[in-house]
Amino acid sequence: MSTAAAHTATAAPLTHEPLARVFAQYPLEVLRGEGVWLVTRDGRRVLDLYGGHAVAALGYGHPAWTKAVNEQMRHLNFQSNAVPLDVRTRAARKLIAFSGLPVKSVFFVNSGAEANENALKMAFTLNPGRTEVIALEQSFHGRTAAAGALTWGAAKKWYGFPRTPFDVTFIPRRDTAALARITEKTAAVIVEPIQGVGGAFDLGREYLTALRQRCDETGAVLVFDEVQCGFGRCGEPFAAKLYGVLPDLITAAKALGNGYPVGALLMMEKAAAAVKLDALGTTFGGGPVAAAAIEACIDAILAEDLLANVRRVTKYIRDTCIVGPVTGYQGEGFLTGLITRVPASQVQKALMEQDILTGTSGDPHVLRLLPPFTLKEAEVDLLAAALKRLG
């Protein structure tokens, strides 16, 4: 047993008392991770099909990513955006090339919500005088003032602010008739092309094409929130690429840093041209370690052909996991929703008892899978077998 393992095995169990009680906790005390596996204090090996809310793109302990981040830490742990850094420029160049889209520039931030806040600010800059943003029912865009205002159900559950920073209209998903609600008053429309919290619900090419067209007719800025579905998770670099529909702005976070906190705002031509000195800002965004984490993540995805892996293993999940309580699937790639005939929370609990970690969603009959991009067929076999045992 290593010194670290000996120490942690004898340490008193954590009570988590100093932490604000805002998160319901999974019943597992994780000590470390290896690939797609979590190792718990009581010695269990748990198959992680949830990836820490879609973050662990390369799983745990990925050698090249860990080395790159460690080396950057040793080399230069921080310098602000006021100082030009090779690693930051390289990360931006690589992200643009990786996207396969006509992205003109990138603004790095720290989280998904922060990326969305900045996207909205840019939209209002591009559309001065307009006061409304349109979002979709069942959406999730983050917890901050603007992002939370656009999150379905937040006003009733947790929004907290006395008013939203702009007028918000929610329209139903995949309803092309409702696109008429987008008008010359609309500054921006924000959608997750594949909704995450909403239940791994894909909006589809037809709807997104109609949405793009309506935004063009009215001048509304189209924002794709790809914080959960993007950066490879859907089996393509971004859902914009998967569906062949180009927004004006894309926001990314989560998998982008493989656990190092990062976010990014990807700007197409119109938005990039409107950026002015001092219009946007951040202290930590695009710091050298964050940039190294992004760069190493892209390098690993390309070197290991992980997008092809996501596509192949997604098909395998669809072919083998519609068993037991699962009656179908929705979503794309490693943002898959397994449709369950009993409540998904019940299936999640029963899988946890078989050492498989999955997620639920806003849809009570959708079990959400957000595994690392490195997941293989043999691990999917374990899920299929566990589901079969549930009958």
Ligand X SMILES: Cc1ncc(COP(=O)(O)O)c(C=O)c1O
- Positions touching ligand X (CB under 6 A) are 53, 111-113, 116, 140-142, 192, 196-197, 225, 227-228, 253
Compare residues 199 and 324 and give the one whose CB is closer to ligand X.
199
Closest residue to ligand X: CB criterion = 112
Q: How far is the CB of 232 from ligand X (least distance, A)?
A: 15
State the Cα angle at 49 between 44 and 50, rounded to 5°.
Answer: 105
Compare residues 146 and 227 and give the one whose CB is closer to ligand X.
227
Q: How far is the CB of 318 from ligand X (least distance, A)?
A: 22
Q: How far is the CB of 15 from ligand X (least distance, A)?
A: 25
Strands of 167-171's sheet in order across: 105-109, 263-267, 249-252, 221-225, 186-191, 132-136, 167-171
Q: How far is the CB of 262 from ligand X (least distance, A)?
A: 9
Q: How far is the CB of 201 from ligand X (least distance, A)?
A: 12
CA neighbor of 185 nearest in space, from 151, 216, 219: 219
Q: How far is the CB of 196 from ligand X (least distance, A)?
A: 4
Q: How far is the CB of 2 from ligand X (least distance, A)?
A: 33
Compare residues 87 and 113 and give the one whose CB is closer to ligand X.
113
Q: How far is the CB of 228 from ligand X (least distance, A)?
A: 4
